[in-house]
């Protein structure tokens, strides 16, 4: 085992493939999360506004098309379309991957947030109107803070899935964490050490992220009691 670890990680500084790949994975995940939150929030607000007021009909139709296409096609296919067709002239693979994963995540985030908005009692909207708030103000100051607390576990799960989905970046020749392990395997002809190392790193990252979400949930619950 020691010899296998040395040959796969130490010799030839092969650990750098893992380290560099981890950096790429984290960057893509961070950018994709930001894009997914913004896009998902906008789509959810448009769809919820249409359901409540029957306004924004055209935007709602566009959002429905977006959700149908993104949720109905595989992530790998979307990534390849983005890289080879939509952004064929873009040289930054990290940017292309971030946009692809962010757009994909936005569709699922939108449905999570929309479900959270629907779970809020209509009395909350009426309370906002009684306070003199218009619909946007009611959403911002009354509804969305409650929605965030309700959907936080579902959002955390979506972001964990997003982190693991970035492992398909190798399809566009991007050296992420998984590709780094694959490069080591191709050099040493040993699959055990590099693949289990990659799997362990993903597991640790997911555990850390899950723990951070639990801490945030506890703080939100404690703030409600005050």
For 64, other C-beta atoms within 10 Å of its C-beta total 14
Whether residue 223 is predicted with pLDDT greater than 70 in this model: the reply is: no
Alpha carbons 152 and 130: distance in angstroms, whole number = 28
Position 157 pLDDT exceeds 90: no
Q: What does DSSP assign to residue 9?
A: I
Whole-prediction pTM: 0.89
CB proximity list for 56: less than 8 A, separation 6 or greater: 46, 49, 50
Q: Which of 125, 128, 152, 122 is nearest to 215 (CA)?
A: 152
| pLDDT band, residue 226 (cuts 50/70/90) | low
Give the pLDDT confidence of 107-128 residue by residue, as tens digits: 999 999 998 888 888 888 788 8
| pLDDT tens for each residue of 135-145 | 778 888 888 88
Q: Which of 20-29, 150-159, 186-195 has the highest mean pLDDT?
A: 20-29
Question: Chain-wide mean pLDDT for the chain?
Answer: 88
Residue 12 burial (CB count, 10 A): 13
The pLDDT > 90 percentage for the chain reads 51
């Amino acid at each position: 085992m020691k010899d296998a670890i040395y040959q796969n990680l130490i010799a030839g500084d092969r650990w750098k493939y893992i380290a560099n790949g981890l950096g790429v994975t984290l960057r893509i995940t961070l950018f994709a999360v930001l894009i997914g939150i913004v896009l998902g929030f906008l789509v959810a607000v448009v769809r919820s506004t249409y359901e409540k007021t029957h306004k924004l009909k055209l935007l709602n139709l566009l959002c429905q098309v977006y959700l149908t296409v993104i949720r109905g096609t595989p992530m790998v296919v979307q990534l390849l379309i983005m890289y080879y067709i939509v952004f064929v002239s873009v040289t930054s693979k990290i940017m292309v991957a971030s946009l692809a994963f962010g757009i994909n995540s936005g569709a699922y985030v939108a449905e999570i947030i929309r479900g959270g908005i629907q779970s809020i009692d209509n009395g909350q909207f009426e309370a906002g109107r009684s306070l003199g708030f218009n619909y946007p103000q009611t959403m911002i100051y009354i509804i969305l803070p409650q929605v965030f607390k309700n959907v936080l576990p579902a959002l955390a799960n979506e972001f964990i899935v997003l982190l693991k989905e970035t492992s398909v970046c190798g399809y566009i020749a991007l050296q992420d964490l998984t590709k780094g392990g694959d490069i080591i395997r191709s050099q040493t002809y040993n699959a055990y050490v590099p693949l289990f190392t990659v799997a362990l790193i993903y597991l640790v990252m997911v555990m850390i992220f899950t723990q951070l979400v639990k801490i945030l949930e506890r703080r939100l619950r404690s703030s409600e009691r005050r």
